Amino acid sequence: MVNNKEFAYDSERNIQTDFARNMTYEEYLKLDDILSAQHRLSDHHDEMLFIVIHQVSELWMKLILHEIHSAIDCIRQDDFSSAFKRLARVSKIQNQIISAWDVLSTLTPAEYIEFRDALGQASGFQSYQYRLIEFALGYKTPHILKIYQKNSELYAVLKEAFGAPGLYDVAIQALARAGFPISSEIVERDFSIPYNEDESVKNAWMKVYQNVDKYWELYELAEKFVDIEDWFQQWRFRHMKTVERIIGFKSGTGGSSGVSYLKKVLDHRFFPELWEIRTEL
């Protein structure tokens, strides 16, 4: 009769156990740095939940930026298949971030007020990675930059991203390269100015959707954009409802109007023409 313990041991004889000269999993991931970065400012048990959820979300946002910036480069080179892969991954990441709100919503108002004052003026509203994602998606508001003037290096990064073409800008340029008559004012515009919908862009996307076989890559690109915006709005909605559930209509710790502000941004669209043509098709 085979001894299961002996069989298991024999089948795993090649497992590495000597790491005197080899890199470990912990070392590769810098786990000491990551797992030592949760410092509660109060003695309340649930502050750990609050810190971890926000840190995990920031890590996911770092990956979103990594993928979106790569997708922008791919679209510029008309490498649409690689762009599709990056953008599909962004949508999957967004799903993960949305799920995080379900965990945070286990925090009750009575629990949150026990450590809220320890946060001072710090707020998720100040997340610079979130702003970089907004910039990459074309949503740019000049007054936001003032928040980051304390850190000159970070401010420079944000300022550069603020003036750079976003995901939709390079897609519109791709439409122009494909022969669509896009207004030169749009193709060569100042990218630091928030995008306003344009008739020539709308007409181009309409033709793409009416001739899917001919413009398959542009059609697929547009649908990837719609996926991302859809998930982004779901993230905004879950954010708003979680905040309302925990603090009601109080102002945010950073001075924002809280739920009222979050409700306003639900109406914003990154890719307006892609939504408008759905009514007209």
Known binding residue 66? Answer is no
The C-alpha atoms of residue 35 and residue 180 are separated, in whole angstroms, by 51
Q: How far is residue 226 CA from its own chain's centroid?
A: 14
99: left (phi over 0), alpha (psi -120 to 50) or beta: alpha
Known binding residue 75? Answer is no
> What is residue 144's DSSP assignment?
G
Count of CB atoms situated within 10 Å of the CB of 94: 21
Known binding residue 19? Answer is no
| Residue 240: closest CA among 213, 261, 255 | 261
The C-alpha atoms of residue 80 and residue 71 are separated, in whole angstroms, by 8
Known binding residue 253? Answer is yes
Known binding residue 17? Answer is no
Q: How far is residue 61 CA from its own chain's centroid?
A: 5
Known binding residue 53? Answer is yes
> What is residue 281's DSSP assignment?
-
Q: Report residue 78 as tokens.
A: 């008309």
Known binding residue 112? Answer is yes
Binding site residues for heme, as ranges? Answer: 239
Binding site residues for substrate, as ranges? Answer: 50-54, 112, 116, 253
Binding site residues, as ranges? Answer: 50-54, 112, 116, 239, 253
